[in-house]
Amino acid sequence: MTGPLERSIPAQARSRERLERILDAAARVFDEVGYEAATTEAIAEAAETSIGSVYRFFPNKKALFAALYTRYLEKVRALFDVVAADTDDSVPWEQVVGAMIDGFAAFHESEPGFRAVWLSLALTDQMIVEGEALNRQLAERLEPLFARRFPHLRPADRRVVATVAVEAVSAMLIFAARRGPPLGPAVLAQAKNLIIRYLAPYATTSSGSAAGAGKGARARRRSGKISVR
């Protein structure tokens, strides 16, 4: 009754494409006006579909947001893995940090909806939907890297320090996105300094750290033994 098979494939393809369009539209609309102010109608329109089609894919508005969230989670993971992959330990850690921040900044710019998800998640915890929050995931994935690179960082503190780094960069990215030039980009440009200086005390070699060299680095190494509470 559904017709020959070769028809069903394009049908599925069309369906898939429509789903993507809806997610993209949702990302755009959520980003522009926020979760609450975004109307399902506006999303459907932005996706050039009908409201009915939106509800064919998602049982309700929250589920639509959750799907968006999941999609970004995936993308962020991929992004992360790419940066982590082409990095062996010969690369100075500052460079890795820089690459990550750059990568995220690029991601932020190319995926405007990402910020919406990020912010909405920040706004209401009830919205934390599937699995963990994005930033938490990021921090977790950062830990093994830290383990290799920061011998002066006590294992127990890894999670905390990674979270600080992620949240701080996140804040700069959001700020940059909201506040346009010139202050926005200028602040974002400082993110690297902020993180590199923060992490420097935990690193072994001051492998060309932007934040200091020579004995100063050594000094920092020692003071890096923070006691979290």
Partner DNA sequence: TATGAATGAGACTTCATTCAT
Partner DNA sequence: GATGAATGAAGTCTCATTCAT
60 binds, among DNA, its own copies, none (CB under 5 to 8 A by kind): DNA
Q: Is the peptide bond before 112 cis (omega within 30 degrees of 0)?
A: no
Secondary structure letter of residue 69 according to DSSP: H
One-character DSSP codes across 144-191: HHHHHH-TTS-HHHHHHHHHHHHHHHHHHHHHHHHS-TTHHHHHHHHH
Instruction: Pick the piece of the chain touching DNA (CB under 7 A) from 51-59, 81-89, 114-122, 138-146.
Output: 51-59
* Near DNA by CB under 7 A: residue from 25, 26, 27, 38: 38
- Of 82 and 120, the one with the shorter C-beta distance to its own copies is 120
- Of 13 and 193, the one with the shorter C-beta distance to its own copies is 193
126 near DNA, judged by CB under 7 A:
no
* Near DNA by CB under 7 A: residue from 26, 46, 59, 106: 59
- Of 64 and 166, the one with the shorter C-beta distance to DNA is 64
* Near DNA by CB under 7 A: residue from 13, 20, 34, 41: 41
37 near DNA, judged by CB under 7 A:
yes
- Write the CB contacts of 118 (distance below 8 Å, at least 6 apart in sequence): 134, 135, 170, 174
Decide if 214 contacts 188 (C-beta within 8 A).
no
In the complex, minimum distance from the CB of residue 16 to DNA, in angstroms, rounded to a whole number: 9
Query: Length of the chain, please?
Result: 229
